[in-house]
Structure 1
Amino acid sequence: MTETIPVTAVAERFAGLIAERPSLRVRDAADALGVPEAAIVAGLAGARRLRPDWRALLEAVAGAGEVMALTRNAHCVHEKHGTYPRPETHGRVGLVLGQEIDLRLFLDHWAHAWFVPEGNPGSPRGSIQVFDRAGVAVHKIFATPATPPGALASIAERLAVADRTMPDFTDPEPPRPERADAAIDQARLRSDWLALQDTHDFVRLLRRHKAGRAQAFRLAGEDLARRIDTLAPVAVLRGAAAETLSIMVFVPNPGCIQIHSGPVERVEPRGPWFNVLDSRFNLHLRTDRLAHAWLVRKPTADGVVTSIEAFDAADRLVLMLFGSRKPGMPESEAWRALAARVAEGAPC
């Protein structure tokens, strides 16, 4: 359990740091101060803690008009403008299935939320920010120029709690150690993989075999998962932009997966970051934090589905790229050809 620090003490330390480094992002300031990001958010001017009624929050956001949804992990940020549809919840799993805002939510990892008024660092027009038990950001919702004035503040009026004390944050969960490769029935893993009928069944396959995702890629055989150049995701994004190809971009963390479906247009490297800077979709990828990437093929009832998947040095999934498709439709030949060219190292 991390030590509980008074809200005012964190706010004072953050204010001093920002006075010295005014362009510092809140997440980076938290790292510099050695506190969870949520501890800084809790002390921002006018921040209001929200009760952890996640369905009520998502229902309210669905009525807030156009906003920007942000989901990130340690190495990749996914930002998408749009309107939240009404959520679907199935136990502790939530679905937000909009044409633009498209999310898979794992609500066991949602623990704390705050409304942050406009004008605060990292919240220029106001935001709602959700964190896990360790104070790590899970999902954020930002007002934009297209958001009706006061829409997020109105949600805070309905869902705010009086408690302004700092929560007791837990220590971040360490990565779970994988079973030894020799403990995995490699032949059975491969046969079950070849029998897949839907890409959504792949997570259940991993659970059944008690295998990590990257571990399964290593063991399945190169016809199903082939290690390729670490910067393959960059080549795919460049190629999709050049070909005006519609793709799907998944960025996961333990509590949320956010998905973009459509073209990418403006791609731009800036230092270690590779960026998509479109009007409705932004992606920011730390290319120097990628450790390995894979060309993956999964059989389905609609034919083989191809993905490019990238991991960090701890085998944590950073992002996945697919060709745009709907259930019942095969993937496009243009996407399959692009993925194959990237896997062979051909320029895009």
Structure 2
Amino acid sequence: MSSKVRISLDVMGGDNGADTVLPGAELILERCPDIHFCLFGDQKVIEPLMAQYPKLKASSSFEHCDVSITMDEKPSQALRKGRGKSSMWQAIAAVKNGDADVAVSAGNTGALMAMSKFCLRTMAGIERPAIAAMWPTMRGESIVLDVGATVGADAQQLIDFAILGGAMARSIQGVERPSVGLLNIGVEEVKGVEEVRTAGRMLRELSPTNMTYAGFVEGDDIGKGTVDVVVTEGFAGNIALKTAEGTAKQLASYLRAAMSRTIMAKIGYLFARGAFERLRAKMDPRKVNGGVFLGLNGIVIKSHGGTDAEGFAAAVELAYDMAKNNLIKKISDDLGDYHRGRLAERDA
């Protein structure tokens, strides 16, 4: 890796495109000045805006792309339309070609995953990729995966996700042996679907060296931060994520209503405004931002499509941390250890 962390951006992705991506990139340069951005998008849109962001202009290169992928396009349609020429594809291809260390897009999730898989391919030993999310908890943050890429994962895929999530925890959280739990309907070994029980048994028997398998965890354990990494298949993971986002909005609505109900409540809010703002930031899914595509031969970060500039900056900062901490190498090393362990177990 060069002295600069090179991050490619799909400037046209997301609900607001360049109006969010460019100020978000400018913001993160204040915290991480050793970033060089590779910007991909429509010159007619981007060029008039760049004068507002002098730091970004001085720390970036730009490539015009004729095609932008909309938020409502189906993955197959996006591939046909944008392969080789869209801003989304070019941002991913920059990682493949070695021109960038990581790609970030706030665009269409299905299209981004389809293009990432097609362009970067899955790593050796990984059948299907996963999307990992950083989840705020009572103890700090946990990693939850998969939150939408692979529906109906089998036992081996769940184990793959455990390895991917463990490597991510080691990379960005600095946990030497992260604790990993399988999401289930109970902690008892007899509960849950067969694939989850089988994955649990295999993880207990193998006892991977780079993680601590903590057994089954339930839905309420995610928010408690019971383990560093929560593993599930994409259907359940996505429902859990959207439920948490909805609950956060619901609680925020209740809180606003309660704080405006009486004069005394309004006065109390004025004194506690700082605490409420910190709580809102912690619960806002646009601020806790950045889904990581794991299991590919390169790093791709999916920012929330409706995020603001600060939220996009958070996604870029996550990308920066992963590139600086050699996430891909850690995943490769962990996969190698796992497969060597399986061979040793088979030959024993």
Q: TM-score under structure 2 normalisation? A: 0.28
Q: Which has the higher strand share?
A: 1
Higher relative contact order (CA 8 A, sep 6+): 2
Q: TM-score under structure 1 normalisation? A: 0.28
